[in-house]
Amino acid sequence: MNDFTIRELMRPNIATLVPYSSARNEFTGDAKVFLDANENWRDFVGDRGLNRYPDPQHLSLKKKIAAVMGIPESSLVIGNGSDETIDVLIRIFCTPHKDKILLMSPTYGAYEVFAHINDVGVSHCQLKDDFSFDLPRMDAVCHLVNNGTPESGMHKMLFICSPNNPSGNSFPLEEIAMVAQRFKGITVVDEAYIDFSEQTSAVTLLDSCPRLVVLRTLSKSWALANVRVGLAVTNSEIVSAMHKVKYPYNLSGVAQHLAEEALDHADEVKATVLEIRRERTRVSERLEKISFVEKVFPSDANFLLLRVADPNLLCEQLRQQGIIIRNRSTIRGCFGCVRITIGSKQENDTLLSAMESMEN
């Protein structure tokens, strides 16, 4: 198996792309008068700097992330949610009509959607019934998909969601490393739910797996779903390419300031994560005692996947009581399953009481 360089894996037009240079990229110091970016000198919404373009490099936010999370600033790319980083990566490495991505299914549905938007093919390697890696199958699949070349077309990217959505389980770090080393394209490990797990982050694999990208988000444990801040952690070559391809002002100044403010509450976030973990255990134990709940799958995330006798009926009966859960029964590998987010104790008790009353 040939090991391609990261540059060889990129689309040729991206590897040679000269990025757009914005006014705020060209000047980053202090000044009294800014007349370089064609901004309106008035701020109609209360002198909050909303009339000025935001920092396109997110330098202050990166510094805060580095201090709080221990991730080097030089390894960071900030996106408008993880969705933007996923889309940018596909656009960097996958040539439309020619290349493909590989998914460990069932998994987060946006990977496939963004591939289709970019006219990129999708292949699937099914997980086991308990949602663990099927290592012999994965080894065979990696051997098969590694036969392509950048010139002829190949599986350029492999996406692994850990903890996995919708199943909730984490994959052992040594198995992720093995797969990332055997797959000759770019391996992306999506750790949106890592804070709810005791699993060691795949960021620790970056030195031994140079073609690895790790995704994080502030939407889940940091409670900023409405702000849209995602992170990519990877080597400098991929960081540089992502900065070339992302939109110049992809994250608003408002979002950057709110993210920095949230990062000042690390102790509160940790305490809430522990509370969610305790609630996850309590809710799981109660659900397992309900007669029409056939199985509650182990979870390292802030949600539970469970198989029930009639997922459509359950979702409708709960909806009529103002309780919304997610029906996942149409996803291959999740037959009969629903996904339930762990909410506050009061919200969880409302759900449990409603489901327990359905047994009568």
Boundary residue ending a domain (237, 263, 289)? 263
Tokens found for residue 38: 């064609």
**Residues 214, 297 share a domain:** no
The single-letter code of the amino acid at 140 is: A
Residue 129: inside a domain, yes or no?
Answer: yes
- CATH value at residue 258: 3.40.640.10
Alpha carbons 294 and 305: distance in angstroms, whole number: 11
Residues recorded for the chain:
360
Based on the domain organization, do 17 and 154 belong to the same domain? Answer: yes
Give residue-wise pLDDT tens across range 5-61.
Answer: 999 999 999 999 999 888 888 877 788 898 889 999 999 988 788 999 999 999 999
Structural domain count of the chain? 2
**Are 224 and 132 within one domain?**
yes
pLDDT for res 34: 87
Task: For residues 180 and 107, state if they share a domain.
Answer: yes
Q: Are residues 309 and 163 in the same domain?
A: no
- For residue 171, being part of any structural domain is answered with yes
Q: Per the structure block, which two tokens stand in for 23?
A: 């006014």
The answer as to whether 33 is a domain residue is: no
At residue 248, the pLDDT reads: 92
The DSSP secondary-structure symbol of 173 reads H
Give the whole-angstrom CA distance, residue 327 versus residue 307. 10
Alpha-carbon gap, residue 313 to 11, rounded angstroms: 47
Q: Give the residue numbers spanning the domain of 288.
A: 267-357
Hey, how many other C-beta atoms are within 10 angstroms of the C-beta on 282?
15
CATH number of the CATH domain containing 328:
3.90.1150.10
Give the pLDDT of residue 24: 81
| DSSP designation for 204 | G
Inside any domain, residue 37: no
In this structure, which amino acid lies at residue 189? Answer: V
Residue type, 260: E
**And the tokens for 135?**
């290592």
> In this structure, are strands 121-126 and 100-105 parallel, antiparallel, or unpaired?
parallel
CA torsion, ordered 328, 330, 333, 334, to nearest 10 deg: 30
> Are both 249 and 353 inside the same structural domain?
no
User: Is residue 50 in some structural domain?
Assistant: no
Do both 186 and 84 map to the same domain? yes
Taking Cα atoms as reference points, which of 159, 153, 13 lies closest to residue 97? Answer: 153
| 241 lies in the same domain as 341 | no
> What pTM did the predictor assign?
0.95
142 is a domain residue:
yes
Ranges of the chain with pLDDT below 70: 1-2, 360
Domain identity same for 250 and 323? no
Peptide bond into 136 cis (omega under 30): no
Domain assignment present for 51 = no
Tell me, what's the pLDDT at 98? Answer: 96
> Which of 233, 263, 293 corresponds to the end of one domain?
263
The three-class DSSP label of residue 118 is coil
| DSSP letter (8 states) at residue 75 | G
Which pLDDT score is estimated for 5? 94
Write down which residue in 204, 228, 263 finishes a domain. Answer: 263
Quick one: pLDDT at residue 133? Answer: 93
> Does residue 336 belong to any structural domain of this protein?
yes
**In this structure, are residues 304 and 339 in contact, taking their beta carbons and an 8 Å threshold?**
yes
Same domain, 242 and 276: no
Reported as type and span, the H/E element at residue 233 is strand 230-233
Q: How far apart are CA 285 and CA 12, in angstroms?
A: 53
Query: Looking at the structure, do residues 185 and 327 belong to the same domain, yes or no?
Result: no
Closest by CA position to 346, among listed 282, 289, 296, 285: 282
Model pLDDT, residue 345: 98
Angle (CA) 28-29-32 rounded to 5° is 120
| Statement to judge: residues 216 and 288 lie in one domain | no
**Contact between 94 and 115 (Cβ < 8 Å):** yes
Phi, psi of 221 (to 5 degrees): -65, -30
Percent of residues, the chain, with pLDDT higher than 90: 86
